Amino acid sequence: MVTILIKSFNRPHYLDRCLRSIQKNVSGKFHIKIIDDGTPEKYLELIQKKHSGIEIIQTEKYTEKSLQIQNQDKVSGIIPSRDWYEAVKNSTEYVLVIEDDVWFTAPINIEEVCNEMENMQIFLLKLGWNSMSLDSKKLVKIHESFLRRKVKLFSLNSTIIDWLFADKFRVYTILKKLKMISPSEFYKYYLFISISSGIHRKEYWLKTWENLNSSVNEKQQIKNAIGFYKKNKSKNFIAYFKDEIIKTTYKSSATNTFHKYGFQLDVFVINHILNEAWLEGEFDAMENYPKDFSDQYIQSFLEKANHPDAQYSEWKKWADKFKEQYRNLGAEIE
């Protein structure tokens, strides 16, 4: 048995797509837990009706955030990391942690995969990598379904890692100038964590999120992960599935906090329009699958609503800017 843990917040039209893609592609024994942080009850009731057998757990701040969403008030920015931590703690030895805006695009027997992870001492298996291109010269086939990336880190010392990330005493600047460190050195350290789309050995995920309280601190996560790696070294510690079988959206955001580009756009209004259309049975969660929802499909709902803070022209510029940000990092996005 494997736990699939889905972090959810006020996008049931994407959550439905995520769950339907699991139903379509994932085999083996697994249990789905949804950790929801404020999605109004009427949406969760329909999700539960559509997908029997799932477990929905509401976060500590669920009621407060749900009321804020329904009243269109400013939503609390508290991140429910402690709720996620407790959910993983009470899960199986291997857990796939994903978010509501991702979906499977190809078959996988998750139980067999986790058994092989145990045999090969893989602590993190990445099923999705944000469409980033992988350098084939740095990949080693270790199983018919798994690839290992050859990575040589500058240092595993936590103090030196601190200096590098903060460029303390201009250590990183000087080392880069002397060509003693790669300009992409930081990305190597980020391989040790997976915010979404990774199957973890439970003890590893718990260690990476240890003592983070109500925050997402990627630097601290990396330090926690490196500390665990030093004690549990395995040549196959981190691996990739043979293909990227989990995709994510570049056309949506859960809140206005991130990806603000100065356009007249309110993400909460966008989500409300699409959520209501989905609730009424007008919005098909699998439209254009396995690709993301088509622009024309989203356009039809935004133009029908004609809300001043959810105009299609502004949304299109926002989405294009969002995608450009990832393309500049090397992502291959349609």
The 10s digit of each residue's pLDDT in 293-318 is 999 999 999 999 999 999 999 999 99
Examine the pLDDT at 136 and tell me if it is beyond 80: no
**Domain 2-110 fold:** Spore Coat Polysaccharide Biosynthesis Protein SpsA; Chain A (3.90.550)
Query: CA angle 163-166-168, nearest 5°?
Result: 50
Q: Where in the chain is the domain with CATH 3.90.550.10?
A: 2-110
pLDDT at position 153:
84
pLDDT at position 214:
65
Interval 253-264 mean pLDDT:
80
* Closest listed residue to residue 22, CA positions, set 44, 42, 6: 6
Examine the pLDDT at 146 and tell me if it is beyond 90: yes
Q: Which is it for the CA torsion 255, 277, 325, 318, positive or negative?
A: negative
What is the pLDDT of the chain when averaged over all its residues?
91
Query: CA angle 322-239-110, nearest 5°?
Result: 90
Return the C-alpha torsion angle 309, 311, 317, 322, nearest 10.
60
Please give the structure tokens belonging to residue 131.
């469409």
pLDDT at position 265:
92
pLDDT tens-place string over residues 31-69: 999 999 999 999 999 999 999 999 999 999 999 999 999
Chain position carrying tokens 């291997």? 94
